[in-house]
Amino acid sequence: MGQSRNLLLEAVKIRRIEERIIEIYPSDLIQSPLHLSIGQEALAVGVCANLNQADQVFTSYRSHAYYIAKGGNLNRFFAELMGRSTGCCKGKGGSMHLADSSVNFMGTSAIVASTLPHAVGAAFANKFKGNSNLVVCIFGDGAADAGVYHESINFAALHKLPIIFVLEDNGLAVHTTKAQRQAFDLAKHASTYGLLSYNLEETHSPEVVANLMERVIRDVRTKEKAAWVRLKAFRYKEHVGTGDDFHVGYRSQAEYEAWMHLDPISSYRASANVEASINQEIEEAVNYGINSPFPTYEDLHKDVS
């Protein structure tokens, strides 16, 4: 029970971080596109719950939850969003390009599907070097539209690489529905590559996701095959930005409400002490960002090549 409680609390903390970002955003302390993880915190916490620090994670631009769940530094997270030189990427990446190499959070890209081959290459290198590190690559169902998705899972399956592809399926590519984009069934298609494949519809709880991932990780290690996992996902906020967009009509508000009704993060009521402790950690990180220096002209030209 102790472990499950911690996972839920970690997901709640991520929700609070995202909510704090929504509060800050109108102040223009953060001047960049944002893709919030609200609604998908349980997936991130569950996916990362059983990973070791040496295991490597690559994600898309909707990466805040994974950055935190993998153990990325919170102070440097807020500093990065605010473009400060103390940010995890020295103010050059921002929300869409987060990385924390110290915890093997390896990079997040604003080009859909573009991190899949990096994950495959990293997994190949791990196998080449004979270490036991796993690579996890997270992307959305929109990524499955891209040719490089097929190219990547094909190579990983062919070479039996120690990699887990995690497809977060919210049925949308920005605002375009799956019916408008895909003539194939994701799970049936993936299964033809001969990799291990898994599907989870009920992803509200981080414990449930973590339990599945524990099995996936064990299978990848013992069966020495690549794995593909589909997790149903629900993005609560608009694709980019901090607002709600159910009123514009491209998706169903009733479906959202039914999903949220089962969301333990939304219904979670922490004790006053716990809430205060989370809020204090977040406020310290926000202030760390606000009080950090901006990069200089000299910094602009650093690390180009």
Residue among 101 and 176 whose Cβ is closer to another protein: 101
Does 82 help bind another protein (rule: CB under 8 A)?
no
Six-digit token pair at 86? 């103390």
- C-beta closer to another protein: residue 54 or 262: 54
CB of 77 to another protein, least distance (A): 13
| DSSP codes joined into one string, 233-287 | ----S-SSBS---GGGSSS-HHHHHHHHHT-HHHH----HHHHHHHHHHHHHHHH
Continuous segment of H or E residues that includes residue 19: helix 2-24
302 near another protein, judged by CB under 8 A: yes
Q: What kind and span of H or E run contains 56?
A: strand 56-60
The residue count for binding another protein (CB under 8 A) is: 42
d(CA 55, CA 132): 8
**Cβ of residue 165: shortest distance to another protein, in angstroms?**
13
Segment near another protein (CB under 8 A); pick from 4-12, 33-41, 153-161, 170-178 = 153-161
Beta bridge partners of 198: 229
Examine residue 117 and tell whether it contacts another protein (CB under 8 A): yes
Query: Does 101 participate in binding another protein (rule CB under 8 A)?
Result: yes
- Quick check: 151 binds another protein (CB under 8 A)? yes
Q: Does 182 bind another protein (CB under 8 A)?
A: no
Per rule CB under 8 A, is residue 114 in the interface with another protein? yes
Nearest 10 degrees: Cα torsion 158, 215, 109, 203: 130
Question: Is 121 near another protein (CB under 8 A)?
Answer: yes
- In one-letter notation, the amino acid at residue 94 is G
Q: Does 125 bind another protein (CB under 8 A)?
A: yes
Q: Running DSSP on this structure, what letter comes out for residue 92?
A: S
Site for another protein (CB under 8 A): which residue of 23, 32, 33, 111? 111
CA distance 205 to 266: 11
> At 109, phi and psi to the nearest 5?
-120, 150
Minimum separation from the CB atom of position 98 to another protein (A): 8
Judged by CB under 8 A, the residue of 20, 92, 215, 239 near another protein is 92
- Least distance in angstroms from the C-beta of 164 to another protein: 15
142 binds another protein (CB under 8 A): no
Q: Does residue 160 bind another protein (CB under 8 A)?
A: no
**Buried-exposed string 222-249: b where 16+ CB fall within 10 A, e elsewhere:** eeebbbbbbbbbbbbbbbeebeeeeeee
Residues that bind another protein (CB under 8 A): 56, 87-93, 97, 99-101, 106-107, 109, 111, 114-126, 128-129, 147-148, 151-152, 154-155, 158, 302-305
